[in-house]
């Protein structure tokens, strides 16, 4: 069955600016080369064709020249932010950082301006985030994505704009302390010894000290960096703070940090699906995470966007019609089986309590 919103085209026909409608998998393997909703550029298209021998790709229909132009602009902006971050963090080849310069402060402030402006201009910040999914440059991309996600959650929590700036800067810099740690430990591919792990666990306080020495950062920002590995129930590190002892901004950054780590493409494992990761995050509400922040996060990052096809626990297929406050239980229209065409509210209709969404329907949405 063809999906109304996507079409399959040959790699030779791909053009920069087209958007993938499905994950692109390397032929003969399970490896994800590009995630769904990636805006293709010429390098990606070249790699799909020449390096990975991909034949066909599902792309989104209905993108007008205007939206492509907007999205291409977004792509340029995001790459600018990324290269600024690279400069600030320095290359992995460098010696550990002992100082955070005033120039770096200015650059972080510029990236913050860019992200906050995009967010309030109702620019599609989530779409931009998807462009940052690939194996290379994990650290900078991780920091940028955590910042984008943090401000998106902040907006959903109605944080005032000045707090949003603090949130964004703290999120961009949350892992800066890793640059103070011996590069050999950070880059070690195998299992870390206990000692090495302890050294890495020092990155929150090292980041805090590095930025405090710089003198331009508020306590809010410094604490966001210091507390981003604390957990709501007191089982985190380095201070084992609990509940509201952990600052509000730090609690937001923690949610974005963990979610991004779970859903990122890493060389040693497949990313978790959005739904799996969100299920995990929901399970951690009130233990690892602040309940209200998890709710704001789930509202901002619905795992089953309207129009997506899903597979149900009874084996039937359905289409998402609208989202509920519990984003794992949206309103759906059944597409197959004896109840085909029926519209069901998985959250409010108790008749369907035992029916759940198993996963996105890969076959349905790939137009089989």
Q: Which residues of the shown chain bind Fe ion in the complex (CB under 5 A)?
A: 175
Rounded to a whole number of angstroms, the minimum distance from the CB of residue 171 to Fe ion is 11
Cβ at position 257, least distance to Fe ion in Å: 6
**Are 122 and 70 within 8 A, CB to CB?**
no
Say which DSSP state 48 is in: I
24-25 and 32-34 strand pairing: antiparallel
The residue (of 226 and 274) whose beta carbon lies closer to Fe ion is: 226
Q: Give the residue at shortest CB distance from Fe ion.
A: 175
Output the smallest distance, CB 89 to Fe ion, in A. Answer: 13
Closest approach of Fe ion to the CB of residue 177, in Å: 8
- For residue 257, CA distances in Å to 87, 160, 205, 229 come to 21, 21, 17, 9
CB nearer Fe ion, residue 75 or residue 175: 175
Nearer to Fe ion, 63 or 237 (CB): 237
Contact status, residue 5 vs residue 21, Cβ threshold 8 Å: yes
User: Under DSSP, is residue 35 helix (H, G, I), strand (E, B) or coil?
Assistant: coil
Q: CB count, 10 Å around CB of 323?
A: 19
Element (H, E) at 360: strand 357-360
When the beta carbons of 50 and 182 are compared against Fe ion, the nearer one is 182
Nearer Cβ to Fe ion (175/278): 175
Question: CA 190 → CA 16, 121, 169, distances in Å?
Answer: 37, 43, 32
Structural tokens at position 326: 């519990």
Least gap, CB of 347 to Fe ion (angstroms): 34
């Amino acid at each position: 069955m063809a999906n109304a919103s996507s079409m399959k085209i040959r790699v030779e026909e791909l053009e920069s600016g087209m958007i993938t409608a499905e994950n692109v998998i390397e032929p003969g393997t399970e490896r994800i080369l590009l995630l769904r909703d990636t805006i293709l550029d010429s390098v990606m298209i070249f790699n799909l064709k020449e390096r990975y021998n991909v034949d066909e790709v599902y792309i989104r229909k209905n993108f007008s020249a205007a939206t492509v132009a907007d999205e291409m602009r977004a792509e340029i902006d995001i790459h600018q932010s990324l290269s600024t971050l690279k400069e600030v963090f320095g290359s992995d080849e460098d010696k550990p950082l002992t100082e955070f310069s005033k120039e770096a402060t200015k650059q972080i402030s510029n990236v913050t301006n860019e992200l906050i402006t995009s967010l309030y201009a109702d620019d599609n910040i989530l779409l931009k985030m998807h462009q940052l999914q690939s194996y290379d440059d994990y650290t900078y991309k991780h920091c940028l994505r955590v910042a984008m996600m943090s401000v998106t959650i902040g907006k959903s929590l109605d944080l005032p704009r000045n707090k949003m700036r603090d949130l964004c800067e703290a999120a961009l810099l949350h892992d800066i302390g890793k640059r103070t740690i011996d590069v050999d430990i950070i880059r070690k591919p195998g299992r870390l010894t206990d000692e090495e792990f302890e050294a890495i666990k020092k990155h929150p306080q090292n980041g805090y000290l590095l930025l405090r020495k710089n003198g331009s950062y508020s306590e809010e920002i410094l604490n966001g960096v210091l507390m981003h590995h604390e957990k709501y129930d007191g089982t985190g590190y380095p201070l084992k703070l609990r509940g509201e002892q952990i600052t509000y901004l730090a609690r937001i950054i923690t949610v974005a940090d963990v979610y991004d780590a779970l859903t990122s493409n890493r060389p040693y494992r497949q990313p978790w699906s959005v739904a799996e990761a969100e299920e995990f995050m929901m399970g951690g509400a009130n233990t690892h995470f602040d309940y209200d922040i998890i709710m704001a996060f789930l509202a901002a990052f619905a795992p089953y966007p309207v129009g997506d096809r899903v597979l149900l626990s009874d084996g039937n297929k359905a289409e998402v019609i609208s989202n509920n406050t519990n984003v794992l239980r949206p309103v759906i229209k059944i597409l197959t089986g004896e109840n085909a065409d029926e519209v069901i509210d998985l959250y409010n209709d108790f008749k369907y309590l035992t029916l759940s969404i198993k996963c996105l329907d890969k076959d349905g949405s790939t137009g089989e």
